[in-house]
Amino acid sequence: MAARIYTDKEATLDPLLEKTCAVIGFGSQGRAHALNLRDSGIRVIVGLYPGSKSRASAKRDGLVVKSTAEAVRRADVIFLALPDTSMPEIYERNIAPHLAKGKTLLFAHGFAIHYQTIVPPKDVDVIMVAPKGLGPMVRAQFAEGKGVPSLIAIHQNASKRAKQTALAWAKAIGSTRAGVIKTTFREETETDLFGEQAVSCGGVSALIRAGFETLIEAGYQPEMAYFECLHEVKFIVDLIHEAGISGMREYISETAKWGDVSVGSKIIDRAVKQRMKKALQDIRHDRFAKEWLHETKSGRGRYSKRLKQDEAHLIESTGRRLRALMPWLQNGKT
């Protein structure tokens, strides 16, 4: 069954107009939400700890900045724009003691609620508004009079108005201009983690490195391997993003298209799909979350080691050298 899509006509800002909204954290999503809320006429404050470097940035943007605890005390709707791993401690120390009946907790990702690293009191609403784009895109699209699609979900509906609040927030950040889909905390969390691990981050990174290594081991120059296995991925992904897989195929050569349909399924075969299913089961049965939380609590030794190993890969030094030849790359990043 196709998902229900909510648009601007089906949402109103009314549930937020007489309320104070607090954005706890000022990373890319926090900043985008805070500025879009303000520009939509919503009263917004930013909650940050006293020594946060983000305080100066928020003040430069003309936002009111308070301590996290004070922001929670003053606010009716509290958006936790915080990393999954640091959120529980901040919640217990600075947020939970100041929650009161009738307030709303809002998340942009379901991890903390789904895996119960945070358990809110029953007399507050718990909702999610998750834009399907990075913070700078959420802000840029809003500024252009457009919007980034979002997901909304309701975990607790103590007020019986949680859905209206979620849609109002989505409207205030511009998402109803594009479209908003209702989901659940569980569905958003599990599909998001799976997509990151099996496809968009883990899967793509591993596929690129494996292709690069295959060419190097066969005697090809690292520069050629980089261009074919990493550099050109952007062009294909851009086409897929804009037009879908079939649309992408309309723009590539007949030879590339035949290679796509005749060889792709031999690389990503049934064995790979079975391992994807195993990864999904680890997510659904909390094994991934428990492993990640344990890794964080124990100092992230394995995590740091694996990142350093990948940073030392030949594909990275080759890429830095080649990207330096490409002046169109933004801000001179290499």
Phi, psi angle pair for 268, to nearest 5° = -95, 85
Beta partners for residue 80, in sequence order: 24
* CA 98/CA 91 separation, integer angstroms: 10
* CA 109/CA 235 separation, integer angstroms: 29
* CA 322/CA 334 separation, integer angstroms: 8
Could you tell me the two tokens for 179? 């479209």
Q: Are 55 and 85 in contact (CB under 8 A)?
A: no
Q: Which DSSP string do the residues of 139-202 spell out, in sequence order?
A: HHHHHTT----EEEEEEE-TTS-HHHHHHHHHHHTTGGGT-EEE--HHHHHHHHHHIIIIIITH
Cα 280 versus chain centre, distance: 18
Encoded amino acid at 115, one letter: Y
List 33, 109, 114, 155, catalytic entry: 109
Encoded amino acid at 251, one letter: Y
Q: Are 176 and 7 in contact (CB under 8 A)?
A: yes
109 is catalytic: yes
Look at phi and psi of residue 54 and say left if phi exceeds 0, alpha if psi is from -120 to 50, else beta. alpha
Nearest CA-CA partner of 38 in 54, 23, 24:
23
Question: Which residues belong to the active site?
Answer: 109
